[in-house]
Structure 1
Amino acid sequence: MRLTVIGTGYVGTVHAACMADLGHDVLGIDVDEDRIAALSAGRPPVHESGLGELLARNTAAGRLRFTTSLAEGAAFADVHFICVGTPQRPDGESADLRYVDAVVRGLLPHLRAGALIVGKSTVPVGTAARLGRWVDAVAPGREVAWNPEFLREGTAVHDTLHPERLVVGTVSRRADTILREVYRPMLRAGVPYFGTDTATAELVKVAANSFLATKISFINAMSEVCEAAGADAPLLARAVGADSRIGPLFLDPGLGFGGSCFPKDIRAFAARAEELGAPEAVVFLHEVDRINTRQRRRTVEQARRLLGGSFTGRRVGVLGAAFKPGSDDVRDSPALTVASAVHAQGAAVRVHDPAALDNARAARPELAYAPDVSKVCEGADLVLHLTPWPDYRRLDPRALLSVVRRPLLLDARNALDAAAWRAGGWTVRALGRSGTEAVS
């Protein structure tokens, strides 16, 4: 089939490359001319495992092209996937739909008869119905469907090609049939398919993100209690997660969630529920958000206590800038939030990350950066582990002992082998465990 993918950010680039890899002819569209030029040359805009290879293979095969022209896209295909961003509005917590609306507005004059617009962007419930009424009034015979994405940054290619489920919200059997054809290879492989109305499809996405965010904030609330009680939060998490009704995933006590999805999605969901007259149904999401934000403050406070109550004149090495491993995304990164707060309180901060240094430097130019862990730790009074990259689990604590001023580690992700670091001569503290006294 011929498809367009409009918006070539994280979701759009991955979706376009994966649809081409399934055998479709795909045209990616974006207003950013530099990005289109880079993609046409096979250079992905984000750090994502396997994406570069996918782009190279499918552009070389002629199944994947890129353009800045919506009109060209409308002439090329009858199925158009919208993958543009829906950030939080600058004047509130609702989702900003200006980019979604602009795509539909730009497509309308050019759509062929029977064209199908398919949203993948995360939107407030009711968006597809609103756009459907708009399309019906201007271009009858065209339809709007919603097909939310569930990819995880760091494993986005795998998640797109081998999803746990497909959720497709449509208003007609014809649209459902078209999308079943788009995803036929996945359906043949046994991927569960949930054909729904558009409102349910929109809600599935925000409900899933809200549940996962709640699970993360729950275990972090428990970690705060564990610290106060002298208990062990990671051990508690493993014991709780062994219950099949609960499961271990997303029960990792630590610095909390960040990125471009969870924070803004739960806020937008709560705002939309209030607009619908059901604010009490999701009031818990406000506390989920507060707990998550508090984890960042707690990390800064614990680091300050470890340094005797003040960051002034101290050197702090930071391991991690991306919001999660496997990605170079620093949007709402807990690691960078903590690093910047420590810097603002008087410390000289130097940051390392295996993939996100350029993005971090652009987002937080006030911080210092280095591509080498030893350089980041040089002369440090404290090392903060803030993004759980596998690279950091392979570090040799003894080798770093000679470069730091004080062998003091705060593991805010509970991901390093504390015993190995202590055996290497380090003092180790972690969130969710007792023992936060100052080290002289």
Structure 2
Amino acid sequence: MKIAVVGTGYVGLVTGTCFAETGNHVICVDIDKSKVDKLSAGQITIYEPGLEKLFLRNQKEGRLHFTTSLKDAVKDAQIIFLALPTPPGENGSADLKYILGVADDLGKIITDYKVIIDKSTVPVGTAAKVHAAIAKNTTVEFDIVSNPEFLREGVAVDDFMKPDRVVIGTESEKAKKILLDLYAPFVRQGNPIIFMDEKSAELTKYAANSFLATKITFMNEIAQLCERLGADVDMVRKGIGSDERIGKRFLFPGIGYGGSCFPKDVQALVQSANEIDYDFKILNAVMDVNEKQKLHLLPKIKAYFNNDLKGKKIALWGLAFKPNTDDIREAPALYIIEELLKEGAEVNAYDPEAMGNVKAILGNTITFSERQYEALADADVLVIATEWSEFRTPDFEKIISFLKNKVIFDGRNLFDLKFMEEMGFHYVSVGRRTVLPQTPKGA
């Protein structure tokens, strides 16, 4: 099939590349000429494991192209995906200006039947707005479909190529047949393609992300109780996660969720509820708890230094909101850094992929190290904010040799408490007891 993808951000680039991988001819369009030039030259613009290999292969095979011309991109396309940003407005609602702007342009240039698909996360009722924006400028037949993405950063290629389910919102039989053919290669193992109306599909995406955000937040609340009651959140997590009604995923406590989806989608769903005078109490609480959780470690760090962080050198491992991505949107690490700097501390950070993005925001207000152990040099303590695999089994002797003090504040519960006790660390994690250095016998 011939496909146009409007927008070459995270969703658009993954979508376009993966559809090309199954033999489709894909043209991706973006108004950012510098980005299009890089992509056309074979330079991938996001970090996502496994994506670059597919990207380069499909470019080489002539199935994946990039342009700044919307007209050229959609001229021969049977299917048009809208993968455009929907940033939160001042009141938290999703801003549809990019999607509706492109919809207005499409009405002026399409000359034959198209299936136009909202791939972006959009509020309920957006499909109708897109339809109206196109229809005012054309009499050509077209269908609007809601097809939300459920991609997890870090494993997006696998998620796209082997989806748990494909949700398609349309009541057009013509569009259904086209999309069944399009997605057939991705569901050969029998995972469902679920058809529903457009409004239900739009709400499904918000409901899914909000539920997962709630699950994470619930465990962070349980972690708060564990610290106060002397329980171990890891044991609680295992105890409830073995219940098949609950499941094991999204039960790991930490220093809050971040990224491009959960914060924005929870906020947007709350605002949608507000617009119809419904008080979504659970999600309001989720947002409140998550904001506080991002700084959960800060009072513990301050207490260790007797509430005086001036001149203290803090090593920070992890800047991305999660491992296997360079995405720093709403990353807890940024909130921690901001507060540490306010308190007069110095920060030396390391992250395998996200340092360039943070440096573009923070400049030289913190120091960046090219290697993880270099960040520890002459530091008073280590703070861990992202659970990159390389942080899970580090060389503890190196850590000890670089740090001034054997002190780690771990926002992702990477290490075993007994092991840290044996190593003689002062080790603070989330929802578990604080490990203190053992007093030598006879002391």
Give the TM-score taking structure 2 as reference length: 0.95
**What displacement does 1:297 show?**
2.4
* Residue pairs, 1:168-179, within 5 angstroms: 168-179=168-179
**What displacement does 1:420 show?**
3.5
Question: Which digits, 9 at most, give the CA deviation of each residue in 1:53-88, with x for residues without a partner?
Answer: 001100000011000100101213121001111111
Q: Structure 1 residues 2 and 135, CA, compared in 2 at 3 Å: closer, same or farther?
A: same
Q: Structure 1 residues 312 and 64, CA, compared in 2 at 3 Å: closer, same or farther?
A: same
Matching residue of 1:142: 142
Deviating more after overlay: 386-395 vs 360-369: 360-369
- The DSSP-based 3-state class of the residue aligned with 2:402 is coil
- 2:426–2:434: 8 Å Cα contact kept in structure 1? no
* Residue pairs, 1:324-339, within 5 angstroms: 324-339=322-337
Aligned-partner Cα distance in 1 for 2:225–2:401: 36
**What displacement does 1:423 show?**
3.2
Matching residue of 1:317: 315
Matching residue of 2:235: 235
- 2:107–2:135: 8 Å Cα contact kept in structure 1? no
**What displacement does 1:171 show?**
3.1
**What displacement does 1:438 show?**
12
* Residue pairs, 1:27-426, within 5 angstroms: 27-89=27-89, 91-140=90-139, 141-277=141-277, 279-280=278-279, 282-365=280-363, 366-426=365-425
Q: Structure 1 residues 144 and 424, CA, compared in 2 at 3 Å: closer, same or farther?
A: same
- The DSSP-based 3-state class of the residue aligned with 1:270 is helix
Aligned-partner Cα distance in 2 for 1:74–1:189: 32
Aligned-partner Cα distance in 2 for 1:160–1:200: 21
- 2:104–2:133: 8 Å Cα contact kept in structure 1? no
Pairwise CA RMSD = 1.6
- The DSSP-based 3-state class of the residue aligned with 1:239 is helix
| Aligned structure 1 segments of 4 or more residues deviating by more than 3 angstroms | 417-425, 434-439
Write the letter of the residue equivalent to 2:359. R
Question: Which digits, 9 at most, give the CA deviation of each residue in 1:84-115, with x for residues without a partner?
Answer: 111111x2211111111122122221112211
Question: Which digits, 9 at most, give the CA deviation of each residue in 1:353-379, with x for residues without a partner?
Answer: 011110111122222111112221111
- 1:397–1:426: 8 Å Cα contact kept in structure 2? no
Structure 1: gaps spanning 5 or more residues: none
Question: Which digits, 9 at most, give the CA deviation of each residue in 1:230-269, with x for residues without a partner?
Answer: 1111211111111111011000011110001100110110
Matching residue of 2:427: 428
Aligned-partner Cα distance in 1 for 2:432–2:415: 14
- 2:107–2:133: 8 Å Cα contact kept in structure 1? no
What percent identity do the matched residue pairs reach? 37
Give the TM-score taking structure 1 as reference length: 0.96
- 2:427–2:436: 8 Å Cα contact kept in structure 1? no
**What displacement does 1:437 show?**
8.4
- The DSSP-based 3-state class of the residue aligned with 1:435 is coil
**What displacement does 1:430 show?**
0.6
Question: Which digits, 9 at most, give the CA deviation of each residue in 1:388-418, with x for residues without a partner?
Answer: 0000012111112111111100111112334
Structure 2: gaps spanning 5 or more residues: 439-443
Deviating more after overlay: 191-200 vs 296-305: 296-305
**What displacement does 1:434 show?**
3.2
**What displacement does 1:302 show?**
1.5
Write the letter of the residue equivalent to 1:322. A
Question: Which digits, 9 at most, give the CA deviation of each residue in 1:129-188, with x for residues without a partner?
Answer: 121233233323122111000000000111011100000001311111111111121233
- 1:305–1:437: 8 Å Cα contact kept in structure 2? no
- 2:295–2:332: 8 Å Cα contact kept in structure 1? no
**What displacement does 1:227 show?**
0.8
Aligned-partner Cα distance in 2 for 1:26–1:78: 11
- The DSSP-based 3-state class of the residue aligned with 1:118 is strand
- 2:80–2:115: 8 Å Cα contact kept in structure 1? yes
